[in-house]
Chains A and B, each alone.
Chain A
């Protein structure tokens, strides 16, 4: 079965750090871009970051640039989101997703496999 499973969420104080993980199975992980999308409580979806198949390209939404780092280990079929200097507004459910589409650039891509999400709460 093709699936991705997130972990690592929790409660953290403002300014703190958290490391989210995403374990992939059922597909050739190294053949796909991967993405993180978040959803604040009662709000809509927001793209956070994505990473190319071989990790050579990483893209971020402006609000997390310099604070979040996306990475992957193709030998372990795993995706990571390192979140530093967390803010209250980073509170959300974070979804990991397999990312696919036509051509070499992610401009036309979409998430065709979603995990169930992991909850991050930033509060004092």
Chain B
């Protein structure tokens, strides 16, 4: 069981919008620690997608956006494309565990 809870899978048709949730608790997201998101394409290393809850690194399309509220965060992908098919992970810090924690990951399927 991951400290941060993500849905195992989400899907959407090309062009659609999907969201991936990341639910935590008062010792991580609720404690105002930042949430970061990573994209892992099949067979490759993870790549930073969103940092500091809402910020995109250079080169990441603005189709990807992040938000955070209370004890949860969300990643939204608009204008879904076939190349977005990947696993997505959220990451934060947990004060009870005194370390970084990751969500269990969400597999995005583009129909």
Contact = CB atoms under 8 A, between A and B. Distances in A.
A62 B89 CA distance: 21
A110 B48 contact: yes
The listed residue with most A CB atoms (<10 A of its CB), out of B44, B45, B46, B101, is B45
| Most B CB within 10 A of own CB, among A60, A95, A101 | A101
Interface in B94-111: 97-105
A110 B45 contact: no
A41 B51 CA distance: 26
B45 A115 contact: yes
Contacts of B98: 59
A35 B48 CA distance: 14
Interface string B9-44: 000000000000000000000000110101000001
B102 A112 contact: no
B110 to A, nearest CB: 21
A37 B44 CA distance: 14
B87 to A, nearest CB: 8
Interface residues of A, number: 24
Interface in A19-49: 35, 37, 44-47
B105 A110 contact: no
A37 B46 CA distance: 10
Given A101-B34, A107-B93, A47 B45 contact: no
Contact of A45 (B33, B51, B57, B89): B89
Interface of B: 2, 33-34, 36, 38, 44-48, 51-52, 57, 87, 89, 91, 93, 97-105
Interface of A: 35, 37, 44-47, 50, 59-62, 95, 101-102, 106-108, 110-112, 114-117
5 contacts: A37-B102, A50-B100, A95-B46, A108-B33, A110-B91
